[in-house]
Structures are given as C-alpha cells and as structure tokens.
Structure 1
Amino acid sequence: MDKKTQKKPPKSKKIRICAFELGKTDKNVIGGGDLILPQMSKHFPSNLELLVIIPHLAIKNWEKFKNKKLLILPKMYLESKSHPVFIFFLYLLRSLQASKIAKETRTDFFYSSTNIFPDVLAAYLAKKTTPTIPWVARIHHVIPSPFKRKGNFLNNLFSFALDKLALTLIKSRADLTFVLNNNLNEILNRKGFKNLKTLGVGVSVPKKSTKTKKEYDAVSIGRIHPTKGIFDLPLIWKIVIQKQPHARLIIVGEGRLKDKLKKSISDLNLEKNIILAGYLSESRKINILKKSKVFLFTDHEAGWGLGISEAMAHQTPVIAYKHAFINEIYPKGLFSVPLKDKRKMAEKILLLIRNENERKKVALQAFQMANTLSWEKVTEEFLADLKLIQ
C-alpha cells in the first residue's frame, strides 16, 4: 500500500477531569490526602486534561507537578480566621465559586479528591446542575463522634457535622466512590453506600539506596493536631529517656497548636531531647527520614498512613499505633502497638534504637513492602474505573 494512502492510527479519545481541592486553610500544612492526586497526575496519559480548582494556599501542593492546569481562587479575608464559623463560610464561598467555574468548564468527570466538605459540596453542586457528567468521589476516613475525639470539643463537633453532611452528599449523588481500604469499604457499605471501590495509594521508591549516618533516634512527620497523636509524643519520649537519656526525637510539621506542643515539651523538661523542625521541603523531609533510626506513626485516625509508606521507601523501620487497615496494607515492615498505648510504643522504640540487627531486618522488610506500592498501578486502576462509568 502506498504510504500516502495508509491510514493513520486513530487518536486516543481526550479525557477531561475537573478536580476540586478546596479544603486548605494553612499553606504550610500538607496532609496525606493533598498528595494523592498530584502523584497520580505524573502518570496520567497525554490524552488526559486535568483541571484542578484550588485556593491560593494550595499552590505549594502542586508547584512541582506539570501535567495539570490550575485554576486558583482569589484570596479571601476569611482565610486568616480559625474559628469554625468563619471556616464554614470560607468553605461555602469556595464551593460556590468552584462549582460555578466547573459548570462553565468542558469536562468528562467531576472529581472531589477528598471527603473534606468544600470538595464534596462543589462537586455536588456541579453534578446537580449537569447531571449527565459523572461525579467521582474519594473518602479517606470517617470522622468519629466529638465525644470520642481529643482536642477542642467545638472544633471536633464542627468537623464531625461537616463530615456527616459531606458523606450524605456523596451517598446521594456520586456515581463512583473510591475508598482507601477494605475496612472503610465495609463500614460505608453497611451505611448504604453504592458503587464503592477500594483504591489505595502508592509511594515513590528511590532507585538508588545510600547509607546515611543516623542523627536522630526517631522521627514523626505530620500536622500538629490532636488527632495525629502529636501530644502523645512528649509522654512517649519521657518514658524512652528513662532508659536512653540522650535519645533524640525530631518532629516535622506545622499547625496552629505548635505553642501548646512546645509547652508540653517544656513541662516535661524535654527541650534537649525533642526537636521541633516545623515545615520542611520534600527533599529536607526525606533527608531527615534517612537520618532517623525509626519512624513513629501515632495517628489516632487514619485511612492509609502515607507517612508509613514514605518511611518504608527510605528503609526506615516503622512503629505504629494499631488501626484496622494496618495488617491489610502493611503485613510486614513495621511493629504495631495498641492504639494510644504510650508505654508499649516506648518499649518498641527502645527495642529498635538499641538493636541494630533487628532494626536492619525490619528496614529490609519495610523496603520490600514499599516496592509493592505503585503509583503507576493505582493510576491505571483509577482510569480503568473511570471508563466503566463514562
């Protein structure tokens, strides 16, 4: 056949996703849920157009990721306020602005990338106006009753109420809902949710492994918030230094309760043993992980524990509070202790920081575990499921 008459292969059909990431209230606080879509976007095919609607506070989440178009909402006075009433109205305004933009955007899917209220409300409003466009939702975990949660009761009541409302909206109109683990899938299924699909997350495993001198006995990375178990850490470390007086813990992360954490450290005379590093860039955070003997996961609530995956990828053994998802996702490469059991946590820390052979054994298992978690596979599965509802 003549080259001129040969048929060109058909072009892949263009896929357009309009995503909502509207829950950011502090530019220096990055949660695990903030990282999922940016990481997946690195593996999206060339025929996929991703539009992400974000507040200006979330720009830092996306600055290193190229395969997307950002639409940044204008700055708002309410962003400087932390009272729940102001945050509610901030969320409401963002949702209204984002849903209006989405309705005027040519797209194949609406995607609420978390179950934080403004992400869900914006997608719900857009779906209500254009019901033929599928809405894909994501649920990371369900917020427990304020009576079962540490921290300010009013703030917890506010979070609980908004989470309840967000889940109700997802249940009523979402065409497909991704959840992070099978336990959460079962819980939501019992509540009457339909079209649920368990889809976890991946981790970026470095191609080369280099030995790094250990400068810290342990590291904790995460938002300074009661639900992260952050205020357990000084109490745990007080037990550790009774047996290991010079042991050092470094805490990486920011939050509005940083002064309260400083006071807790000071009250226990731990200023020489606990370092508050604050917000660190991704490269500096990874460097700290490599320099630490163990990674501590003290979250009281979680759906996956992305910090666990990252620690494992850098061959840092993990000691974690026990959650329903731990055995499902991380069958090896970590030690788990009963939730909120500070003494058991301290005992495991002492075991690993004192025993290099045991630490190396767990580190190897952790690295092997990390290699089973692939962003490429997660993204492929995500896109395959989207095709089923298109």
Structure 2
Amino acid sequence: MSSKYIFIANWTQGPSMSGGDNIWNNFAKYWGNVSVIGSEEAETQLEKSRTVVSKFFKISKNVNTNNNLSLPGLIINSIVRVKNLLLFLLSHKSLVDSYDYVYTVSDFFPDALGGLLSKLINPRIKWVAGFYLFAPKIFGADSPYRGKHLLKGLVYQLIQLPMYLVIKHCADYILVTSSPDAPKFFTKKRDSSRIVVVRGGVDTVSIDEYLKPNKLISYTERAYDGIFVGRLHMQKGVMDLVDIWKYVVEEIPGVRLVIVGDGELREDLIKKISTLGLENNIDLAGYKNGEDKFRLFRDSKIMLHPATYDSGGMACAEGMAWGLPAVGYALEAFETYYERGMLKAPVHDKKGFAQLIVNLLKDDSLFFRTSQEAYDYIREKWMWEQTCSYVKSNIELGEGSQVKCPVCQSEKTKFISETFDTHGRYINSEDLKFRMFKCLTCNVMFLSGVVIDNKYYRDNYGSGYYGTGNNKLISKITRLGFKISVFIKEKMIFKYTNKDKINILDIGCGDCSFLQSVSDKSFIKTGIDMNPEVDKISVNSSIVVHRGDVLSHNFGKSMFDCVTMWNVLEHTTDPGAVLQRVQGLLYDDGILLIQVPNYSSLGYFVGKKLWFHLDSPRHLYLFNSKSIYTLASRNGFIIDKMYREPYDYPLDLFWSVRRSIFLPLFILFYPILKLFDREVTTYALRKVR
C-alpha cells in the first residue's frame, strides 16, 4: 500500500504561481494518495492545473486589505491564516493520525507551523519541510532589499529565522532547491541522506504540441526579442531588467520585450518604463497561464532571467524548453541548475547582461547553438515526472530502512552516504545525487533507486566515456600502465590455460583495447558490450564483437576457455546472474578473471566521495574481498587467487586523495603506497566441480 501524504499549502495566495507552488502542485499530481489542507487560492491552482487530490480541506482565503502585497497586508494575512491552521488541526487530530507524511510546502508560518503541530499531535508522522529560498542578507552585496524595501527585507529575515531553526531541528526530511543550501540543515542527527535537492521540472508534453512544424513561428517573424516570466518582485530583478533593455535598445533600436507576471512592483515598473521612454519597447502582459503563456513563449526569441538572488528559477527552464536561449546572472545556484543553454553575466553587471542579449540577436550561429543546448538540456534534466519520482523515492527510502541488498537479499543494510555524478577524477554534476548503501551480510556496497533504461545508457556511456583527457603526460603514464597490464594479464591467462589457441570472451569489452592488444596467435577473440557506441568501434577482423547483454545474448554453441571482466562487474545490474551465466559459457577447466575496484582501499578511506573508482551512477556496486568471496561461492565459483595490480590506473590513488591535507605526504611516498595499496583487485575464479 502506498504511503499517505497530507500537504499544507495554507500560504498559497494571489493569482500567480510561485516556484514553490509549482513544486507542490506537481508532487500532488505525480505522487498520488495526496490530500491537501490549504487556502482558497491553493484549490484554484489545483483546478487550473487539473490535478486531482484525494481530499481538499479549504481553511483560508485572502483577507482583503488596501494592498495585500504590502508589509501590513502580508502580516495581517499571515496572522489570520496561522489562526485558521491551528484551529483546524487541533479540531481534526484524528485526521492527522491517519497520514504517514505531512509536507509543508513553504517555510512561512501558515504552512510550516502545521508540520510542527502535526508532529506533536502524531509523533509517528514524518514531517517533510519545503525550504526553497533563504531570505537574503539585507546588507549583502546581492540583496534586492535596498532603499525603500529595506524594512520588508528585515522583517522577512526576522520571520524566517525562527522557522529555519524549527525546521532544522524538528523536521524529518527537508527539501531545498539548491545544493549549496543543503549543508545549512546538517545536524548531529541529520546528514545529507535526509535533505533532498529538488531541481524542479517542466511539462514538455504540452510544449511539444506547440513545437510541431505547423504551429511554429519563424524566428524572424516573432513579435518579441525577449521574454521575462515571473513575479514582479525585487528578487526577480525585474526593475534591473528595464535598465538592461534600455542598453539593448541603444544597440538595436526597435527591439521589444514582453514581461509576463504580476506583483507588488507593477506600478513602479510602469513608472520606470515611462521615465526611460520605453513604452514602445516593453509590454506588460500581466499574469498568464496555459495557452496564453504558451503563445507568448512561441512568439519570443530569448528567455531573460535577471534574478539577483535565487535558488532555482523554473520559469526560466520553461522558456528554455521552448528552445529559447537564456540569459541570466552567474548566481551560485545556476552553475548546477543551468549548466548549458544559458549565457551568464556577472551579478549586477547590467551592461554585461545587455551585451549577451545583443550578441544572441546579432550572431545567428550563437543563437541557434545556445537554443539547441537549452532545448536538449531541459529534456535531459528537467522532466517533472522524473523529479517527482526521485524526491518521493528518496523520502520513502528513509535512512537505509527496508532497503534489501540486491546481491544476497539481506535486509541488514546501512545507509553510507549520498554520492554525486563522478567519472574518474572528474565531477560531472554535484546536483545529481545517488544513495549508497552497504550490506552488513555480504559486505557489498550498492546504489539504490537508479533507474536503468535506455536513457541511462545513453547518458552515462557516451563516446567520451573511454577518453584519457587532453593532458599528454597523464596520457603517456596511462598508456604505459596499460601496456604493462596487458603483458601481465596475458601471462596470467597462460598460467591457467595450457591450450595453444585459447578461446577468450571479454565481457564489457568497451573499445576492445584489451582484445586488440593480446596476441592473435594465442587467442580466438570474442567481445560483448552493451554500449550503443560499440557498433561504431573499428576493430581488426580477428575479433568478433557483439552488442548486447551477456545475460540474454545467444552465443550459440560457443564455449570459452577464459572469460574476462576488467572493471565490468560493478557496472552490471545483477552481478550474481552474470556469474551464473558465465558458468554456462566456461569449459569445466576454464578460468574467470575479474577485476573490480576495491573499496577497502586507502583511496576510498581518504577520498570518500572523491574516490577515483566511485564513478556514480555507472558503478552500481562496489566490492571488497569479502563481498567477492560471498558472490563467487553463491554462484558456483571459488577464488583461486587474488592479484594486486598497481600498474592499472597508476594515478587513481593520487586523484582520490588530491584534496587531502596530507597530499604532500602522499606524493612523497606515492610509489610505495601505490605498490601495496589495492585500489583495484583482480580475482582468478574457477568453477566448483
């Protein structure tokens, strides 16, 4: 039975939808079994997005003041909504008892206090707290709360501080939108395993309907050169945008900008546009949603996101999904949020921002290249269904509870750490997070929750996977190590097989470098690999290469004297099944040689998340000698011998410890440490007869 969630969306207000509103609306849509305690506006949002929830309990509606977005208006509405929330929860204690999780959709009092009270009513319930943006320091260089907005910024900070402390110390799980925010919630009882980074998402299905050739508007015929979508709020940089557009108009007279959204700065914005004489260059479209907003995206060229303080920016992602190249400031969060498809100017550099816009409008090559990057990047990283599934699975996995070991099926597993996307010495993305567990029965470590499909293989095993980098010295060292490795591996195979012609199968042959390097006179060579790129690999005629999965591939009547798996077993989805399959492919006196990274090594002990051989999410499993022994014995093999091979990956230990304070000592004693350390280990396995 799926877990039951109760959302508290009591602070949702106004006609427009914030980033936080977008997140909880999509959680409700994709998670299922969700009920909502919320405001009248929250109910309206669900209706507009056609999201069906199990139950909706309407407890608040906006209190009309002279200006609901003014400081007094916000305070009055906050007090009234808090009162409504407390009265509702205290009079519906049995309702709280019937749910597994309570998700407070923001850190504002009318939402977040509901999480704390729910925990007091029902200690069993798990509190998931959304905390999507820290209030900026009012005197900070990037603060949007300056001048006449100083008092509002101060109040925002003072109000957020107590809820930050309550959430930090009382919530079970915390959702943030930016990786740099996560450490601010670490406590002695909470590590990164209970803090989930929510990137956000985009509904590309509806967008793709408009991108069909018969509905597209030609680039040269679009009405607007730039589009901004978002709340008219200080943090969104919308006042700066008018100055920016003035610079653009000076360079390219006649360019037009449309600003889509509503908020407290609307009147100030109208005055500034008039003062700068830009009435013919800037249109204020107000709040738009659905097809009205889609038509404006379709009729625009560039997505503008001039936020000076932000932890995400989903409206920008939506524009990029239309293939609009984006321009923004180089905020810390955007380094991981928008790795491609956005040109970035130094924060507060309005002229630099304007120049990037001008460059895109004048340089067709730059425009279309950045446009394609934006389109591809959003579909690769920003799909709502994937985001919602990732967040829910991370919450419900908990800290290692009920996560079975895929190798031995034991439930005695322990959460080890959260890892990010790494490959050798490179960190591909710290925004993609994976959860590493250790089986206390068989000692294998494994990633949980990784979706293995065609997209996984496309994303993680592209043409650059086998590259050694551009550094000539490192490439020379690596090639020398490889030559030594092949020579010794050949001798190893000859030790176990006395035949004149050895029939060898290399599972996970990759670019076939090993098979090409061993002697044609001594071996009948066969390779198999799942990498889609394997069909493009050019090899000599003495090697038969199959593309596919060894578990399902039909080798006919072929049998092998030797099967090799060089750093492959850790990539497989079911290591036990692979060994059982190899059982049927080997002659009785055949030998299986496997090399795997060894997590009982100095590199892992010191490097942890920077360990050269971590390679998440490609390395689904990590082994040591105990886990290999257990795996082998369960699947009809015995270990004949273990080999230390320091010439394989000669610099792996260095890259693993490169940020250690003891790096000078490692460099001084590196040859000795490398000689005796087992970063990778090779095992010779024989069939049990």
TM-score normalised to the size of structure 1? 0.89
**Which residue, 73, 84, 88 being the options, matches 1:101?**
88
State the Cα distance separating 1:256 from its structure 2 match: 2.1
Counterparts of 1:95-174 in structure 2, within 5 Å, are: 95-102=82-89, 103-105=93-95, 106-148=98-140, 149-151=143-145, 152-174=149-171
Task: Tell me the alpha carbon deviations over residues 323-373 of structure 1, each in whole angstroms, 9 at most, x when there is no partner.
Answer: 112121221111011111100011011111122232111111111101112
Residue matched to 1:8 = none
State the Cα distance separating 1:113 from its structure 2 match: 1.5
Extract unaligned runs of 5+ from structure 1: 1-12
Residue matched to 2:624 = none
Task: Tell me the alpha carbon deviations over residues 13-61 of structure 1, each in whole angstroms, 9 at most, x when there is no partner.
Answer: 14211111122342x23211111121233322xxx42111221133332
Task: Tell me the alpha carbon deviations over residues 294-315 of structure 1, each in whole angstroms, 9 at most, x when there is no partner.
Answer: 0100112211110121011111
CA distance in 1, matches of 2:355, 2:312: 24
CA distance in 1, matches of 2:223, 2:129: 42
| Identical-pair percentage | 25
More displaced 10-residue stretch of structure 1: 183-192 or 258-267: 183-192
Task: Tell me the alpha carbon deviations over residues 184-224 of structure 1, each in whole angstroms, 9 at most, x when there is no partner.
Answer: 11344389965322232221223442322411000011111
State the Cα distance separating 1:273 from its structure 2 match: 0.5
Residue matched to 1:7 = none
Counterparts of 1:225-244 in structure 2, within 5 Å, are: 225-244=233-252
Task: Tell me the alpha carbon deviations over residues 41-96 of structure 1, each in whole angstroms, 9 at most, x when there is no partner.
Answer: 3322xxx4211122113333211333313222243535664443453343233234
Task: Tell me the alpha carbon deviations over residues 91-125 of structure 1, each in whole angstroms, 9 at most, x when there is no partner.
Answer: 23323433443434121111012223321112112
**Which residue, 51, 72, 80 being the options, matches 2:58?**
72
Residue matched to 2:346 = 338
CA distance in 1, matches of 2:166, 2:72: 20
State the Cα distance separating 1:166 from its structure 2 match: 1.7
Whose Rg is larger? Answer: 2
Alignment CA distance shift 1:22-1:79 (3 Å): farther
Residue matched to 2:5 = 17
Extract unaligned runs of 5+ from structure 2: 402-689
CA distance in 2, matches of 1:76, 1:218: 33
Say whether 1:292 aligns with 2:300.
Answer: yes
Paired residues of 1:298 and 1:320 also in contact (CA < 8 A)? yes
More displaced 10-residue stretch of structure 1: 342-351 or 193-202: 193-202
Amino acid at match of 1:94: R
Paired residues of 2:303 and 2:327 also in contact (CA < 8 A)? yes
Say whether 1:42 aligns with 2:51.
Answer: no
Residue matched to 1:10 = none
Task: Tell me the alpha carbon deviations over residues 237-296 of structure 1, each in whole angstroms, 9 at most, x when there is no partner.
Answer: 111111111000110010122111000000000000011111112221122112111010
CA distance in 2, matches of 1:14, 1:189: 29
| Structure showing the higher strand proportion among its residues | 2
Residue matched to 2:196 = 197
More displaced 10-residue stretch of structure 1: 166-175 or 88-97: 88-97
Counterparts of 1:85-96 in structure 2, within 5 Å, are: 85-96=72-83
Residue matched to 2:317 = 309
Paired residues of 1:254 and 1:279 also in contact (CA < 8 A)? yes
Paired residues of 1:55 and 1:73 also in contact (CA < 8 A)? yes
Say whether 1:387 aligns with 2:379.
Answer: no
Alignment CA distance shift 1:117-1:212 (3 Å): farther
CA distance in 1, matches of 2:124, 2:187: 27
Residue matched to 1:184 = 181
Q: Pairwise CA RMSD of aligned residues?
A: 2.2
SS at match of 1:51: strand
Alignment CA distance shift 1:319-1:264 (3 Å): same
Alignment CA distance shift 1:125-1:284 (3 Å): same
Q: Which has the higher contact order (CA 8 A, sep 6+)?
A: 1
CA distance in 1, matches of 2:252, 2:131: 41
TM-score normalised to the size of structure 2? 0.52
State the Cα distance separating 1:133 from its structure 2 match: 0.7
Amino acid at match of 1:242: E
